[in-house]
Structures are given as C-alpha cells and as structure tokens.
Structure 1
Amino acid sequence: MDMSWSPQPLTRRRTLAAATGLAVGAVLPRGPALAAAADYTNPVIWQDFADIDVIRVGDTYYASASTMHYSPGAPVLRSYDLVNWEIAGHSVPVLDFGAKYDLNGARGYVRGIWASSLAYRPSNRTFYWLGQIDFARTYIYTATAAEGPWSRLTTIGTPYYDAGLLVDTDDTLYVAYGNTTISVAQLSPDGRSQVRTQEVFRTPSSVGTLEGARFYKIGGQYYIFLTRPANGQYILKSSAGPFGPYTMRQVLLDLRGPIPGGGVPHQGGLVRTQSGAWYYLAFVDAYPGGRVPALAPVTWTADGWPVVQLVNGAWGASYPRPAVPPPPRQVTPMTGVDTFDSTALKPGWEWNHNPDPAKWSAGDGLTLRTATVTHDLYWARNTLTHRIQGPTSTATAQLDHSAMRDGDRAGLALLRDSSAWIGLKRDGGVTRVVMVSGAAMDTNWNTTHTGTELAGAPVPGGRIWLRASADIRPGAPRPGTFSYSTDGVTFTRLGPAFSMGNDWRFFMGYRFALFNHATQALGGSVRVTRFELSTP
C-alpha cells in the first residue's frame, strides 16, 4: 500500500488513516523530528524473532518472523509503540507440508517457515501471510484479526523465495521475491493465483547476494528493500511502476550493531508512525540466543532514499521513543508464569515439529503423554518449546511425574543442534533426576549423539521442580546450568555447565523445551503444573 497521502480535508484523512493504517501527513515520506520522550534501548525484544516484516494498521503495529520447523509457525507480534511487543498468535496453525514436519519417517529441521511476509488489505479488512515452503510452492493464509483464526487461502505453484507482499493503492497485490535475481509477481484480484511474474533486477557481482525482499509504495514510488546476508541492507527504487526499472542504493553495510558481540542489524522492514516518522525494525545475529529485533529511526533524502539514523557511527543502543498515542492497554509480557489453565496454549509456545494432538492436553496443567519410542530427543514428538529471554533468564518447571512408566524420559532442555537437559529417568520402577549433555546433530541435521548422563540423584515422591538458566549474550559460547528442587524452595545444582554453541547455521536460537518420550513403550505421562520464565 502507498504510505503517503495527497492533501485532503483533515477529517477525511483521519477516517482513511483509521481504516487503512496509513499515516495522516505530508505527501513526501520525510519523517519529522522525534518528540522529546524517554529513550528505549535495543534490542527492543531480546528473543529470537528473525526475518521481520512489520506493518501498522490504525494505531497498532504488527510483525511476523521465521520459525523454521516449529509449530504453529509464523508468529504475529503486536505493539502500540514499536518498543513493547506481545505475541498475538500464529499465521500458520500447523505445518501440514509433508510427513517430515510430523517427525514421521523424516525430519524438517531448518526447513518450514523461512522469511515470509505479513500484510493488511484495507479493501476487505483482512491480514495476509505469504511464504514459500521447501522451494516447492507458495502458501497464503488470511485472517480478519491478527490473533486468528488463520486459514489457508490458496497455494501458488511459483515458490516466492524470501517474499514481500505489497497491497497497492489500487488494491492490486504484488510480490517481490528472489535471491540475487529479484522478480515481481502480480496476483489475481482474489489473491488466489498468479497473473504474471517478471525479473526486475539482477544484483551486481560487486554486491553479492541480495534477498529478503520487502515491497513498499511510498510517495508514489516503488521500493524493494533487500538484505545482503548477514552484514548489509540495500534498497531498489522505481518511479515507473512495480515492474521497474529499478535503481539500487546501499542503506547500510558492516554497521556496528547495538548488542556487544552481536552482528550487523539487517533483514527487517520499514514502518511509518501515525505522525509520519519512519522506523526500521531489523534483526541482529546474537547467537546462542538467535536473531533479535532492534529498532532505529529513518529519515529520507530529498530524492527519496532512506537513511538510518546513527549514534556515533553505529546503530544506536538507545533512541528517543517513537511519538505515538497512548496505548489502549499494556501488552502481555513475554516473561512470567504459565499454569496452563486454558485448553489452548498461550501463543508464546511452539512445538518442535507438529505435535500429536492425542498425546497432550491442557487446562489443569499441561499433560504430556509419551508420543514416541526413541532414545533420541530430536526424534521425540510433542516437545514444547519457549524462546529464551536475553541477555540471561531462567526457566523453572514444576512436574508431577507419578504417572511415568519404565523407560520414560521427561524434563526441561536447552534445545538446539547441540542440547542438554535436566529431567527424569524411570527404569526398573525407580525414578532418578539426571543431567544429560552432548545431544547433537550434524550440519545435515542428522543426530550424531543422543547425549550422556553426567550427573544423577534419587528422587523421592512424585513431584519435582526443574530449572535451567541460560546466558545468551552473543560473541562466545555461553553457559547453561541446571538444578532441581523437591520442595520448590531449595534448588540443588546438577551436573556441569553446558556450553551453548553460537554457530549460525541452525538459524534458530536456543530454546527452553519441555519433553516426555518413551524408550520402551507408550502409555506414561507427566503433568507440568507451572512454568515460569524469569530474568535476574
């Protein structure tokens, strides 16, 4: 959609703005000076939300992110000020793209939901999510509310790699996509099929790779915002229409980021506030925690190119807060306590691959019935994950393990391509609490080791508190530690510190994970009665 307005009567402009999410303001996209306000600090979210697309609808901001093999996929974040965010829901309710996403004979690690697009279409008051899966085809989901329910609108045979969806001012739908060779597709008026597609730009060899398209119409001109992974951002501009021709300009390259030890902010989206100010919400590579969002103000040159506002030559660790109306309510914190008192999980949770719905339930705590017979956590279905809060945080889970059966393994993990966990082993009628380290996958995401028990202790009774603490500051491998309690008050450290790897190739950062699987036969279960994510 076009993010500018020609002069109109103010009341009509306000009505249009409320309906479409576009700003009341001048035609030219030149942001005004920020009003004096308290500063915000970067990252605005210290959790793993990568490949960000960000939009505004009325007075509300929404963002989408990649989730790879986690289900449900494509979280929708919501904010009223671009600084404080909550998770509203997920655009992809289930990864029904093949058996590997069910851990059924194959695995979908580092596949699934990659860089995709979130848009809002004022003509039918509908949200659209668009993304390609497995380089095979493109899926489009829609919803009339960000929290859902979301449903599949269509599939398109062209896989729109790293796509950006544009709703033009005449309501036409366009998609910018591609790696190095950038193309634009036009969709049918109902959004269900492709009308045409055309190459519009070929990246010069001197630049390298460009991908991660975001598509905008600003001040009557078309822009395709592209990333050079993982250290640059470029933009293409066309005054002749969505199919170009386009000219290119560098937005940033090798820019110092706001997180010590982290990478260059890149691959995000541009968004305009109600007052006409512009911001760039990007992500910073910050492993072992993942890729975390950072926000910076943007101004525009007289000839229509965006300029990120720097602090001492770097992406600022802090900036004045965006001048926006007071929020209608406070957003839901991404930390805190969950007692699983609803039959639906809160949107902060995502399963490792699709769960077996018959093997879990919630409402009176979270019951995890064994769904897989395996010695390999990476093959175990119904492992429930939660992002880690940076720079350091602790997860504490209270478990009722009285219904475990011989051979069962249940607990709390630090889950990634190298993993460790604290939990329970029940063998020969005896239950022990153990710390297991060294579960690992290779770069083809095949398991190379299922882990080694490094410490253990007998457990009296049927209830235990398990705790994992994680330091996810980037720049070096960081420690994760484990402890347990039999009364919820006094915790005992178990096992050595686990060194969390900071290699980028798994893409997703470490997560806390609740699991329960069998090594002998199905039938056992555990109940998680309380989970708390806390920061120091």
Structure 2
Amino acid sequence: MVVTVGLVAGTTLPAMRAAAATTAQQERFTNPVIWQDFADLEVIRVGDTYYYTGSTMHFSPGAPVLRSYDLVNWEFIGHSVPVLDFGDAYDLKGGRAYVQGIYASSMRYRPSDKTFYWLGQIGWQRSYVYRATDAAGPWTRHAEISSGYYDAGLLFDDDGTPYVAYGVNEIRVAQLSADMRTEVRSEHVLTKPDALHLMEGSRFYKINGNYYIFVTRPPNGQYIWKSTSGPFGPYEMREVLLNLPGPIPGGGIPHQGSLVDTPNGDWYYMGFIDAYPGGRVPALAPVTWNAAGWPELQTVDGAWGETYPYPVTPHPLPPMTGADTFEGTALAPHWEWNHNPDTAAFTVNNGLTLRTATVTDDLYNARNTLTRRIQGPASTATVVLDYSEMADGDRAGLAMLRDSSAWIGVTRQNGVSRLVMFDGLTMDANWNTSSTGTEQARADLPASGSRVWLRAAADISPGPGRQATFSYSTDGATFTRLGPAFTMNERPHFFMGYRFAVFNHATRALGGKVRVERFELRACAPAANPGAVDTNAWYVLVNRNSGKALDVSGVSSEDGAAVTQWARIDGTNQQFQFLDSGDGYYRLKARHSGKLLDVASWSTADNAAIHQWSDHGGANQQFRLADSPDGYVRLINRNSGKAVEVPGFSSEDGTGIVQYSDWGGVNQQWKLVRVGFVGFPSC
C-alpha cells in the first residue's frame, strides 16, 4: 500500500493553512527512531507506556529496558538481567563469552500478578526467567528451565497461562507452569516452507481471539502465522514484507522485531535495520489489519517510510546523548560492561574510579571495560581522565571496541606518562584474539600534568570504509589529532555494533587507577534546513518525480560527461559534496571524479544540458538550494537563475539532466540523502 504525504507541487497555502501544515509536519517522526544498536527487539505496551527489550550478547548488565510514551522518544531505565552469572567465561576467567549471552529474548507483562517477566535462552540447553514488579527494576532471577527456548516469544493468554514460541525453522510452542518455573508441554506447530532459507525470531500474540507467531527470514523478510484454533495450531502463513527498501541510506531491510498497539487501537511494527558498523537500529511503521485478520504494513512509495505521523501525541524525553559526570554511587543504565565487571575494582562517587582488574596486553581480555552505544549516523565521545595514579605498565583510555578495534590512551613506562594511539586489535572467526594491536602514534604529556581529554569521533553510517579518528587535549579546548584514521569493520557476524569503551588495565601488576571525571556523547546533527547543508558530507540527490538519483553517466571522469538520472545504487558517481561558494551558493563535486556539476557553455537557455567539468569557480557551477515541501529542495543556478530539472517528467534511466525556468514542479525537486562523510564530520 502507498501512503501519500505532503502537498501537491506548486500549491500555495493561505497563511493559516501554511501554519497548520507546518504544525502537521512537526508531528511526524523520522526513522530510525533510535539510531543506536538495539537489536532483536520486543516492544510491549502496559497502559499508556511502552517498554522495549533487546540483545546485549556479552555486555553486562544484559537485556536493556527502555521506556516510551509515544513509541518514538525512548529513555533507558534499566536491565532485566543484572549480572551475566552463567559461568566463569562471562567474568573473563578461564575463557570468554563474546557473541554469547543475551540474544533474541522476550519480555512481557502479566496483569494477573502485575509482574514483568523476561525469558531467554543462554547456551543451547537452558533458559532463564527474570521478573520485576517495576520495569525499571530491581529484577531478580526467578527460574532456570532445562529447555533451550531459542529466539523465544513469550505470551500470557487471557487467563494468565504462559506460552513460548521458539526455535529455528521448526517452530515449537511450549506451555509453562503458572509459576513460570517448569515446562508443562511442548509441541511442534509449524515448519519452514522450502522457499524460506531460514525462519526464526518468534514473537507470540493473541489478537481478537486468534494466535499469531511473527517470524523473520533474516535479513530481508518477515512472515506471520495465524491459528484460529488455539496456541498449538494449526497455523497458516502470510508474507508481511520481503526485500522492502528501508529508510536508511546504505542500510538493510527492516525485519524481525515486534507488533504493538496504541491505547486507541492503532497498530505498529517496530523492526530493526542492519546498519553496520553501527549495529542494528529500530525503525517504526504503521500496520492495519484486513478483514481476514492479517496485518498489512503501510509503506511510502513502495518502501518503509523515512517519516510517518506520530502514533500518539509526542512525548519528548531527554536525548540518549549528553554528558555524564557519574554523580551518585551507581552507573546510569546506559552503561554496560564488556563481560561482567570486577565490582571491587571500580567506584562511582561523583566520578568513576577504575582500578586495574586484569594484567594483560590484550584489551579483549581486560575486565572492567565500560561501554556506551555510539549515536548514529556520527558522533563523538570525549572522556576527561585523571591519570595521576597510574602504575608502570598501565594502559587507560578510550577505544572503538568490536572484533576489530583501536584506541587512544595514556601509558606509563618508567614513571613517564605518554599518549599513544593503537589500532589493529582483531579477533578471528571464533572470537579469539588474533592481534593485540600496533602502536601507530605517540605524543608527550606535560610533566606536571595529571588530566587529559581523549576524544573518538565515529562515522557509523551504514556501509564499508567508515572511519573513526582520535584526538586529545590538555586544556579541554584545543584538540590535536593522534594517529591515522581507523577504518571500521562492517561485517555483521559479530552481531553487535561498535561501541565507545573506557578502559584501564595493567600489563605488569595490579595497583594503579584512573579517575574518569566526565564522559560526553555528542551527536553530529544532520542539516536542519537546506541552508545548513553539511559541507563535510556526501549526498545522493533523489528526484521527487522519478525516485531516481543524479548520476554521472558511465562513471566517467572526463570533462563534459553527461549528468543523467539513474536508478539509485549509491555509487560514487551518484555521490556529491557541497562546496561552499559563499552567499548561499554551492558547487557540487562528484565523488568519483572530483569534478563539478556545470551548466554547459554558461547557457541561460531553457533545456541547456547539465554535465560535469573541472572546477573553475564560475557562476555556472554554483547552485543555491531553494526550499520545497516535505524536505525537498530545488537547485537554482547562479548564472542563469534556472532550476536543475528532469525534462518531460521522465522516469527513464539515462534521461539527461537540464536546466529550466524555476516553476517548482516535482521534476525539479530533489531530496538530499546523506550517505557518508568527507574525512569526518565536525560535531
């Protein structure tokens, strides 16, 4: 189904209607609703409040709990699994638990006992139940069940009876005892059709008397099974989506996730998008139900919408970015350790003291590494570190942490503290360390100093070649780059995205410590309006009429090469940087060739061709952005005053781009889709 949004091109509104349209536009949300790594999600509603859980793998505490009042604005309130007490490997003792732990679990509320329950499989043979009367906690372990409920979907029936849908390809339903401690029965209820290469990620619902098992075909499909005869079936299947274009440039297809309703009876689907190197991020779309009781996703122009109207009245919450000075005596819930921490080796007391807990030269083996999700599509983390009580051999700093890692930090050798930047820390396919890294740069610290500001800046917009940079300051004002840019790994098999990580470990002997005085996560904000275009970004320009991208024909690097429209592939010949020419004008530089959009022969005539040409700074290479409805812009040439246009309203690949008198038509309107950064964005 196509949802049509916005105004008819060229329509002029009276002042009152224009104001109303502006208000309506403000009441829309933009996907992803959270640009942070919250995968394998489940969203539930209790009254007028929504709760969200997801995967954390080896990070502790596990199973985050987020809260919202509008399905769009979310806050971190706790974790369902306070400690990963599932064996010594989770303590980095005698082994490691990377890519194990909490994944595709389930959280539900049972009205009969006014209790939240979390259920998840750990390993392959056992599942655990945690519970709390308040979603914010405290949560306690309630039961250990000797069955592995893989990708569990928990359901409480109308009478409070608990059921679990689980499995991969062969989906089973288990009935649990009323006290949630034992399994009563388990039956096979459905089998993957041959056409689906994989089926998992169960979510279990009872809606209008029917039972539904919502499953995913990763990474590009979502299906639903319906039973009118009870939780054990029989079930029949329908496709919900397959290969549906997603709302994030370079990102994957929304899938897995959860169905949820509003108090008004409207339904929504929250799925996640593969967006590595940043991880998997949630996107929201409305759902309707047809007369036969099947859900239908509401799309926009054949894709998952970039924006939709708010589900309910917006309820803003504090952003998931900002500064933390570690007030009080406990960490805020947005922090998670890499494996369980040694609780005797850190203290929170208006600052965070990290004592060395491990003697190792391998950051992947170091306990008490504290992590924070990265805000996409780009953000910086800045740590203020007091290193005055480090011991010889200690390393403390700020890392980009994943299966390929890098860091900036302070090392102490022979009583002298220095700044260093390491990269090349890697794991193999079994998550064993294959390299502990190589020092790439160093810098001296003032002999009398004790405090340093460390900064990591990361572009996690989806795709290969994304980079992070490291810098430092001794006064908190002037930052100096240290070391080369670090290219992140976008392969999905680690399942978690990159994180910022604060660490302190020994390489010789325990006894040293550092104090983290402040941590600040700052988002690199997208352009708020056409006049604020990011000159440090690469953009794809998508025509409103055809949905196709501005394209340098044949990936040519020659002067005079034609500029056409073509199906969007986000190739380098479809990516342009806006170079500031002053007075609100820009030159558009093609990424592959370094050449500019140019009106041929300085023409001022309608239908004059647009091609690429070497940069000579002329007015025929300069364009201003004129605002159009719904976030689109028109490109107005400085020399001619005419607009860049797809002639004849063509939707054909290869149609040559021209200039034409500015009349505001949809074939003159372009959406600027940021797909990456030049070097690194300033935040």
Question: Secondary structure at the residue paired with 1:424?
Answer: strand
- What residue in structure 2 maps to residue 471 of structure 1? 459
- Which protein has the larger Cα radius of gyration, Structure 1 or Structure 2? 2
Please state whether the residue corresponding to 1:50 is helix, strand or coil. coil
CA deviations over 1:505-536 (Å, ceiling 9, x no partner): 00000000000000000000000000000012
3-state DSSP of counterpart to 2:90 = helix
Rounded to whole Å, the distance in 1 between the matches of 2:96 and 2:287 is 41
The CA deviation string for residues 195-228 of structure 1, in whole angstroms up to 9 with x for no partner, is 0000000111211211000000001000000000
Q: Which residue is equivalent to 1:503?
A: 491
Letter of the structure 1 residue corresponding to residue 421 of structure 2: M
Q: Which runs of 4+ in 1 moved over 4 A?
A: none
Answering whether residue 63 of structure 2 is matched by residue 83 of structure 1, we say: no
Q: For residues 86-110 of structure 1, what are the alpha-carbon distances to aligned partners after superposition, in whole Å with 9 as ceiling and x for unaligned? A: 1110000000000100000100000
Residue of structure 1 in register with 2:530 after alignment:
none
CA distance in 2, matches of 1:496, 1:59: 49
Quick check: 1:336–1:532 contact (8 Å CA) kept in 2?
yes
SS of 2:521's partner is: strand
Of structures 1 and 2, the one scoring higher in RCO (CA 8 A, sep 6+) is 1
1:488 correspondence with 2:476: yes
CA distance in 2, matches of 1:193, 1:452: 51
C-alpha separation between the residues in 1 aligned to 2:188 and 2:83? 32
Whichever residue aligns with residue 166 of structure 1, its letter is: L
CA contact (8 A) 1:138 1:155 kept: yes
Is the Cα–Cα contact under 8 Å of residues 286 and 475 in structure 1 kept in the other structure? yes
Instruction: Determine if the alignment matches structure 1 residue 313 to structure 2 residue 302.
Output: yes
What is the deviation of 1:38?
1.4
Q: Give the partner amino acid of 2:311.
A: P
Q: Note if contact 1:272-1:278 (Cα within 8 Å) is conserved in structure 2.
A: yes
Counterpart residue type for residue 129 of structure 2: I
Q: What is the CA–CA distance in structure 2 between the aligned matches of 1:162 and 1:118, rounded to whole Å?
A: 12
After TM superposition, give the deviation of residue 477 of structure 1 in Å: 2.4
Corresponding position of 1:182 = 171
> Match for residue 399 of structure 1?
385
Note the 1:373-412 alignment, pairs <5 A.
373-412=359-398
Matched, 1:448 2:437: no
Aligned residue for 1:100, secondary structure, equals helix
Instruction: Say which SS state the counterpart of residue 403 (structure 1) adopts.
Output: coil
1:429 to 415, 424, 442: 415
Alignment of 1:134 with 2:120, yes or no, is no
Residue number in structure 1 paired with 2:518? 530
Output the CA distance in 2 between the equivalents of 1:138 and 1:339: 37
1:209 corresponds to: 198
- Residues 155 and 37 (structure 1), Cα distance of their counterparts in 2 relative to 1, 3 Å cut: same
User: What residue in structure 2 maps to residue 47 of structure 1?
Assistant: 36
CA distance, structure 2, for counterparts of residue 319 and residue 349 of structure 1: 31
Find the aligned partners of 2:149 and 2:156 in 1 and give their Cα distance. Answer: 16
**Distance in structure 2 (CA, Å) of the matches to 1:323 and 1:371:** 47
Matched, 1:286 2:272: no
1:147-200 deviations in whole A, cap 9, x for unaligned? Answer: 100001101111100000001111111000000000000011111111000000
State the match for 2:138 in structure 1.
Answer: 149
* Residues 258-277 of structure 1: pairs in structure 2 closer than 5 A: 258-277=247-266
Matches within 5 A, 1:3-42: 38-42=27-31
Shift of 1:36: 8.7
Classify 1:142/1:65 alpha carbon distance in 2 versus 1 (closer, same or farther; 3 Å): same
Q: 1:231 aligns with which of 217, 220, 224?
A: 220
Residues 405-462 of structure 1: CA deviation (Å, up to 9, x unaligned): 0000000000000000000110111110011011000110000100111010111111
Q: Aligned partner of 1:529: which letter? A: E
What SS class does the counterpart of residue 412 from structure 1 fall into?
A: strand
2-side partners of 1:109 and 1:179: how far apart? 21
Are residues 1:332 and 2:321 paired? no
The runs of 5 or more residues in structure 1 that have no matched partner are 1-34
Q: Are 1:299 and 2:284 an aligned pair? A: no
Are 2:311 and 1:322 equivalent residues in the alignment? Answer: yes
The answer to whether 1:256 aligns with 2:245 is yes
Query: What RMSD, in angstroms, separates the aligned Cα atoms of the two structures?
Result: 1.0
* C-alpha separation in 1, matches of 2:366 and 2:166: 35
Aligned partners of 2:287, 2:44: CA distance in 1, in Å?
A: 15
Match of 2:153 in 1: 164
Corresponding residue of 2:615:
none
SS in 1 for 2:493: coil
Q: Are residue 357 (structure 1) and residue 346 (structure 2) matched?
A: no
How many residues align? The count is 499
Q: TM-score of the superposition, structure 2-length normalised? A: 0.72
Cα distance per residue 1:337-378 (max 9 Å; x no partner):
000012110000000000000000101300000000000000
CA–CA distance in structure 2, aligned partners of residues 66 and 397 of structure 1: 26
Structure 2 residue ranges without an equivalent (≥5):
1-23, 525-683
Q: Does the 8 Å contact 1:424/1:432 carry over to 2?
A: yes
CA contact (8 A) 1:37 1:323 kept: no
Q: How far apart, CA to CA, are the structure 2 residues paired with 1:231 and 1:101?
A: 32
* Identical pairs, percent: 68
Residue identity opposite 2:329 in structure 1:
T
- Cα deviation, residue 37, structure 1: 6.8
Amino acid at match of 1:246: Y
- 8 A contact 1:233–1:252 mirrored in 2: yes
Q: 1:220, 1:511 → 2: CA distance?
A: 43
